[in-house]
A and B are shown apart, each in its own frame.
Chain A
Amino acid sequence: MDTPPADTQQGPSSARAPSADADDADLQSSLGGLAGLVSGSFSLDELLGKVATFAVRAIPRADGAGVTLLRTDAGAHRVEALAASDQFVADIDELQYSTLQEGPCITAALERRTVRSGSLGGEKLWPRFGPRVGRFGVNSVLSLPLLLPGEVVGAINVYARMKDAFDDRAAAIGEAFAVPAAVAVHNAQVLAQAVALTAQLQTALWSRPVIDQAIGILRSRTGESTDEAFARLRMISQRENRKLADIARQVVDEATRRARARGSGR
């Protein structure tokens, strides 16, 4: 397998091939797309999907691409989010991350360098991944780490059906694309986490009071402890497949109805 150092780049040539100009145009168009991900807000998954699509457009001879966000946990990388431009990419990345935990993206992320192969079927670096991907009809891969200062935040996997699809120029284009892509996807992750955290806290703030009242009702009737009463509510919630807050609301409403009925003498 040819795995040149990540900083290998082709310098400018005095006689550029027409395809080089077309490649540049594709790259610029894709970088422009990255910069202009507007027209409404995007979820993190949607944004990752668009980055994958732009990557296919930017990198010559690519047939599909996947973008993965990784989180480092006790020295190991775990997948935080991922998206693919095409179903076959999603299938291959599932194989890599879930089934085999081996593959070019994992290598690129761990070693923080561009990784490529032109013949996955016979690839020795990934003895289980390579042959299985070959059965998808995919022969070439280019994996690019998404890097922030001092940290790997994810990777882009680019796949092609033809053998030896990704040369030095394709790797250089991929690396140029990966720089702004890393910032874009990471900032999208900041936003996604901010939205999720505030939504969770807001929901919890509105739900907790009725849950505590329901705990009090159960305790007054059964003599259970707080933990026991809470466990009972949670068990009912799981058994009936209803939200915990809804169960609690039902308990409180019933107790209130009875109290009002007693108070009115009915």
Chain B
Amino acid sequence: MGLTQSLTASLTLLGEALDDPDLDLPAAVNEFAETIRSAVGSFEGLSLHVTGPIGGLGFTLMGEDATWTGPGSTVGASLLLPMLPTDGEQCSEIVLYAANPGAFVDLAADLAVLTATPLPELVLDEHLDPDRRQQDITEVLDAAVIDQAVGVLLGWGWTPEEASAALDDRPARRGKDRLGAAAELIADLARGTGGWWVNPPPWRA
């Protein structure tokens, strides 16, 4: 199943945060899709939403090459799997899509048994219009730039609160957003010209 370039980059970035150098998250996503395809012949794709800071991560993959066929496409069945909550508040969830009506009935029954989950909690056929906006994700990559910029400021003696405020104030004065300001800072660092950022915050005595 084809992953977009930004999704592959995001998953790779996330995979690096785990203590397993052999783990290939993009490959794991593809492997998961192929396992489902073996169980459900008309499998079309999946959506995955994982809870995390700043909204978490969500993406949708449809078709062999991740091309989205749009509303009125071949989704005739869906199955929502609520994954166990780890933060006590929200579940991550996976939604599977297939072309043939009833395609997930047997899988849902087996999963209900395996997890001792009441069958109604595995929601069948209520997600027949996958969110086409979730084909391309950049939030993970954007957050990495902002977090790295915060780290640079911490390294130069700014407190976390000062760093966060600076990334908001400075872009407001120069017409950039937070991500733009962070990217500018990282670029200045790479050029060896930290400039205004290098000194402690000007409001310190």
Our pick among B28, B107, B189 for the contact of A200 (Cβ within 8 Å) is B28
Known interface pairs A202-B51, A205-B14, A216-B147; A193-B32 also in contact (CB < 8 Å): yes
Our pick among B15, B19, B152, B157 for the contact of A216 (Cβ within 8 Å) is B152
Our pick among B14, B32, B38 for the contact of A208 (Cβ within 8 Å) is B14
The answer on a CB contact under 8 Å between B155 and A202 is no
Interface 9-mer from B67-75, B113-121, B130-138 = B113-121
Interface check A102, CB cutoff 8 A: no
Which range contains the number of A residues in contact with the other chain? 35 or more
CB distance from A53 to the nearest CB of B (A): 17
The answer on a CB contact under 8 Å between B155 and A197 is no
CB distance from B77 to the nearest CB of A (A): 15
Using a CB–CB cutoff of 8 Å, the interface residues on chain A facing chain B are 35-42, 47, 71, 148-149, 151, 153, 183-184, 186-191, 193-221, 223, 225-226, 230, 237, 243-245, 252, 255-256, 258-260, 262-263
The chain A residue sitting closest to B192, CB to CB, is A223
Secondary structure of the A contact surface, majority rule: helix
Interface check B106, CB cutoff 8 A: yes
The answer on a CB contact under 8 Å between B116 and A204 is no
The answer on a CB contact under 8 Å between A186 and B52 is no
The answer on a CB contact under 8 Å between B154 and A256 is yes
The answer on a CB contact under 8 Å between B13 and A208 is yes
Known interface pairs A209-B143, A214-B151; A202-B86 also in contact (CB < 8 Å): yes
Interface check B187, CB cutoff 8 A: no
The answer on a CB contact under 8 Å between B23 and A200 is yes
Instruction: Tell me the bound Cα distance from A255 to B162 in angstroms.
Output: 13
